[in-house]
Amino acid sequence: HGSCDRYVYLARRIVLDDSKKLSAFDLHEFLHDCCYLGRSEAAVATTASMSIQASRVVNGFWLIFFGLSVVADLNLVPGLSGFLRAVAKRGKDDEGDDPAGKRRRPWWQVTVPHGWFTHFYVVGVLWNAVALFHSLIECAWAGSDPSVVGAALASTLFQAHVTRRLYESAFVSIHRPGGRMHVVGYLIGVVYYICVPLTLAHPLAAAAVVGSVADAWRRGSIAYLLEPIDGTKLEAAADGARHVLKFAFTASGRSGVGALMSGFCVAGGVYAWWVGNAHQHRYHVALAELRGGEKRRENVEKKEREGAAKEYGVPRGGWFERVSCPHYAAEVLLYAGICAVACGSGFGAGGIATGVAGFGPAVAAARTTPMLASVGANLSLAARRNHEWYLRHMPDYPKGRWAMIPGIL
């Protein structure tokens, strides 16, 4: 059974090249039987159970995350909202503003350095790399299904984004030495970057990831997250990468209304992702420059400020002229682009290669919409808090700016 993976890979490619020889549904059942060769019934049952539970946990996380963000932002439950806003504080927003003496309470003392923000992106880069590897293999095995390849393209875009954020957090951003964030907020951030890759991955790839976790758990070694990495898997991943590149530029080359809608969503999504990433990087660099060098000192020396406000200048240029947190608006935009790619890629073709109904845009939207709503709600909370901090601590701050979206927030 050592050649089982190669046999499965070749079988899929042969049948997909001439699907008339075997129905897609029969192929799907056959392949799953092959994938479990050499595994006990208990191992298969464990993997299936973990897949179901993981999906429920991820969906539940997004619903809870969204709900708590809205409660905190709109102050819907005064006691709980205040606690949630306190947990969400970090960096400059962490200083001062303690009318109820929360800092003297035991629960507030459990904090970690704001610089630990980098840990989120380390987790995101590593975990999404595992999900992307399995996604590329699924592309090789079901390359004619746009819903599979589109999901892999979405994971690729997220990998590029989170890698850039890791670079910025480690080498561009300047974290205030005394800046802290609550440990609850830190743990939520870690879970967030575990849930995003599982949300973006196609259900087949997500099941493969959960299966690898089950193997690692059963065998007691984290190495089994990608085991066995052999020539067959690398060949399949490379083949899947070619499918993703082709899809990104041709929207799979299909014709018809479904293909037109798919191409529009993919092209528009990639463009939104690119614009969001470019602008977010620009504004992160601008904010870092304000906290170091002559530009910052000249700005700060003009006004009398106290506390953390002494370390910050008034950001200007680009979207900063309209909003206080354009980097948050850019992040919402790039996430919207990624979700558009994941959802729109399967228009008119979901489930062609796998023979499984329900893998089209509707199911992708059901997975990604709660995530996008959670991102928007959380960043709205952070943007409003930052905007209020600027107005409160900087007498020279422009009063006509919005927090994140002109005319809305």
The candidate with the shortest Cα–Cα distance to 16, out of 369, 352, 251, is 352
Residues in the chain: 409
* 181 touches 111 (CB < 8 A): yes
Q: Report the DSSP beta bridge partners of residue 180.
A: 113
Q: What SS3 string covers 202-221? A: CHHHHHHHHHHHHHHHHHCC
Rounded CA separation 300/309 (Å):
9
Mean pLDDT, range 296-307, rounded to an integer: 49
CA distance 252 to 30: 26
Please give the radius of gyration of the chain, using alpha carbons only, rounded to the nearest integer: 24
- Record the tokens describing residue 177, joined without a space: 């030495």
Residue of higher predicted confidence among 392 and 47: 392
What pLDDT, on the 0 to 100 scale, is given for residue 318? 93
Nearest-10 Cα torsion for 67, 68, 69, 75? 100
DSSP H or E stretch at residue 180: strand 180-182
Mean pLDDT value of segment 65-83: 90
State mean pLDDT over 261-289: 92
Q: pLDDT by residue (tens digit) across 364-405? A: 888 899 999 999 999 999 999 999 989 988 888 999 999 999
> Mean pLDDT lowest for which of 183-192, 193-202, 277-286, 339-348?
339-348
H or E stretch at 176: none
Provide the pLDDT for residue 32.
Answer: 52
Q: Which residues pair with 181 in a beta bridge?
A: 90, 112
Q: pLDDT tens digit string along 281-296? A: 999 999 988 876 444 4
**What mean pLDDT, rounded, does the chain reach?**
78
Cα 109 to Cα 92, 180, 288, 333: the distances in Å are: 17, 10, 28, 35
89-93, 99-103, 342-346, range with greatest mean pLDDT: 342-346
pLDDT of residue 278: 97
Average pLDDT over residues 113-133: 93
Reading the block at residue 11, the tokens are 């079988």
pLDDT tens digits for range 24-40 = 544 554 455 455 444 55
Q: Which residues contact 169 (CB under 8 A, 6 or more apart)?
A: 117, 118, 120, 121
The Cα 34–Cα 27 span in angstroms is 10
Taking 50 as the threshold, does the pLDDT of residue 353 lie above it? no
Q: Looking at 35-49, 137-151, 154-168, 304-318, which range is the least confident one?
A: 35-49
Q: How far apart, in whole angstroms, are the C-alpha atoms of residue 148 and residue 271?
A: 20
